[in-house]
């Protein structure tokens, strides 16, 4: 099973989730929609979602942007075999300060106000790389305009299998490569 966690202004129906479902059709891909802007609600929704998933299947958690941030926290608390981070939100309590204010989540057709309190609340769920508790693969586009890949690479150095891609953006332009990597990780868990 692959559990895909979307980013801040996205939903479980995101393009990345659709690519994973299409390209890895032999594997169940679950992609819950959760309120990524509200840390406590996001975590509660995701914990509930995990409670309804079968535990007897190998689980690969795949988190993009804020989904990567929440994925690290979840991997340290739920049964998972591997965590794949795609351009993960790095220290969102500082990163999101640049986008405080009104937001529009097109995927959910929803407007909301991202307050400084909401941004600060993400710090509660900080999970240091060595505390994740499962193998980690980091996939980063060097051209990410929101997150400095060098900081994330430094943060996960020695803990994660780091794959850096030239160019790209925060939207992540290397899903073809990611699908191959994620499929291989899933297969290695099945083979164990």
Among residues 17, 71, 80, the alpha carbon closest in space to that of 53 is found at 80
**Spatial separation of the C-alpha atoms in residues 38 and 4, rounded to whole Å:** 18
The domain segmentation of the chain, as residue ranges, is 2-191
pLDDT in tens, the chain (192 residues): 999 999 999 999 999 999 999 999 999 999 999 999 999 999 999 999 988 888 788 899 999 999 999 999 999 999 899 999 999 998 999 999 988 999 988 888 899 899 999 999 999 999 999 999 999 999 999 999 999 999 999 999 999 999 999 999 999 999 999 999 999 999 999 988
* Residues 6+ away with beta carbon under 8 Å from 189: 58, 59, 60, 81, 82
- CATH assignment of 2-191? 3.40.50.1820
Please tell me the pTM assigned to this model. 0.94
Residue 80 is encoded by which pair of tokens? 């998972």
């Amino acid at each position: 099973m692959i559990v895909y966690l979307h980013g801040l202004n996205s939903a479980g129906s995101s393009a990345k989730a659709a690519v994973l479902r299409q390209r890895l059709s032999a594997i169940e891909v679950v992609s819950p929609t959760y309120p990524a802007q509200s840390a406590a609600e996001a975590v509660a929704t995701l914990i509930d979602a995990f409670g309804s998933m079968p535990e007897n299947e190998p689980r690969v958690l795949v988190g993009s942007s804020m989904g990567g941030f929440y994925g690290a926290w979840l991997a340290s608390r739920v049964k998972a075999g591997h965590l794949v981070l795609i351009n993960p939100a790095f220290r969102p309590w500082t990163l999101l300060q640049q986008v405080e204010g009104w937001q529009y989540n097109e995927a959910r057709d929803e407007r909301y106000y991202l307050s400084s309190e909401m941004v600060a609340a993400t710090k509660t769920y900080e999970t240091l790389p060595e505390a994740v508790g499962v193998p980690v693969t980091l996939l980063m586009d060097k051209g990410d305009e929101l997150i400095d890949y060098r900081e994330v690479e430094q943060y996960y150095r020695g803990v994660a299998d780091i794959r850096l891609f030239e160019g790209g953006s925060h939207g992540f332009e290397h899903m073809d490569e990611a699908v191959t990597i994620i499929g291989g990780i899933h297969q290695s868990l099945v083979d164990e």
